[in-house]
A and B are shown apart, each in its own frame.
Chain A
Amino acid sequence: MIRLAAVGDVHAGVDSAGRLRPRWHELADDADAFLLAGDLTKGGEVGEARVLADELSELGLPVIAVLGNHDHQAGKPDDVSRVLGDAGVMVLEGETVRLDVRGTSVGIVGAKGFAGGFEGAMATEFGEEEMKAFVRHTRERAEAIDRELALLEADIRVVLMHYSPVRDTLRGEPVEIFAFLGSYLLAEPCDRAGVDLVLHGHAHRGSPAGRTQGGVPVRNVAQPVIRRPYRVFALDPEPESGSRLRDDRNDARASV
């Protein structure tokens, strides 16, 4: 059994210094890896990323993250990723990290994702260039997830994103803004690959649990939803799953 701790939307600012670390100090006892589902910073400033990097330092377990919309606000998402990367956080955007947890291979595909809505109430690449670009951004993020999953072989496969792939975990938000909180395009590749779990944040007033059309469990770990420092998810590899690892693809590796 492997245990993944996760939280999203911590919105770290300079006023967060010293406040998050005490809440995370037992992580290494509770989990094998810590996943951050975007909106890591308040406004995407380098100073805010440095505060978060300090709070995350020496937790004693791998930390894997994706960015959220807040991390893009200052127009410096690459700087945020670099600061966190320098502190050992694996920040993924259309990329995969594989961990070896006591002999079990765990593949985590990470991407921010984006919005557009859900079947029956969604935007399409039609009309103005601005609308086409909006939907295209989501489609490209979804295609990146699809590509990574197609190449990933691991005993346990998890997708980490910021935006929601399903309506289920948005219940509680005004239905008028569902289209700004996620997209069905993000769920399709997860169903196609039959992943074990999808984690996301972003929907502060949403619901904690749902499933994709294909039955993949989805969990909204936005901090205002879970109201805890993190949630821990325990997963067992499928008995029939192979443990053969691919060596020709993956952007980062770590051993636990």
Chain B
Amino acid sequence: MPEAPLDADDPVYLAAHLQERLAQDPRIYEPELVVTVEGDRVVVAGVVPTPERQVAVTSVVREACPDHEIDNRTTVALYGAPAPPERIT
């Protein structure tokens, strides 16, 4: 269910509230995403586990800030090939 838009004029507070939304929204649940607000532009960065959750980041921010431009710079988790074992000494 879409969430109500956020009511915060100060970009610092707005970024903080957006970070809370991204941490607490069941579509995402990612507390480690980094949010900055520059004028009318919201930038979100960090790693998400799946492409679906990357799309959900844009949805959640759009619901919270319908009048802002959204720059979703999140990346989907990289899964390179397994590395050789590390010997622990």
* Chain A residues proximal to chain B, CB less than 8 Å: 3, 10-13, 15-16, 19, 23, 26, 30, 42-43, 70, 73, 196-197, 204-205, 217, 219, 223-224, 227-235
B82 touches A19 (CB 8 A): no
B52 touches A43 (CB 8 A): no
Minimum C-beta distance from A208 to chain B (A):
9
* Chain B residues proximal to chain A, CB less than 8 Å: 26, 29-30, 32, 46-47, 49-50, 52-53, 77-89
Main SS at interface, chain B: loop
Per the bound structure, the CA–CA distance linking A42 and B49 in Å amounts to: 9
Per the bound structure, the CA–CA distance linking A214 and B81 in Å amounts to: 33
B85 touches A232 (CB 8 A): yes
A234 touches B79 (CB 8 A): no
* Chain A residues whose CB sits within 8 angstroms of the CB of B88 once the complex forms: 196-197, 217, 233-235
Per the bound structure, the CA–CA distance linking A30 and B81 in Å amounts to: 12
Minimum C-beta distance from B66 to chain A (A):
25
Interface contact tally, CB-CB below 8 A: 71
Per the bound structure, the CA–CA distance linking A114 and B50 in Å amounts to: 26
A227 touches B80 (CB 8 A): yes
B87 touches A234 (CB 8 A): yes
Given A12-B49, A232-B85, 5 new contacts (CB under 8 A)? A16-B50, A227-B78, A228-B79, A229-B82, A232-B86
* Chain B residues whose CB sits within 8 angstroms of the CB of A43 once the complex forms: 26, 29
Contact of A232 (CB < 8 Å), options: B47, B78, B83? B83
* Chain B residues whose CB sits within 8 angstroms of the CB of A227 once the complex forms: 77-80
A230 touches B82 (CB 8 A): yes
Contact of B83 (CB < 8 Å), options: A19, A204, A231? A231
Per the bound structure, the CA–CA distance linking A232 and B89 in Å amounts to: 14
A204 touches B80 (CB 8 A): no
B29 touches A70 (CB 8 A): yes
Closest 7 CB pairs of A and B: A232-B85, A15-B52, A234-B85, A224-B47, A227-B78, A11-B49, A15-B50
* Chain B residues whose CB sits within 8 angstroms of the CB of A224 once the complex forms: 47, 77
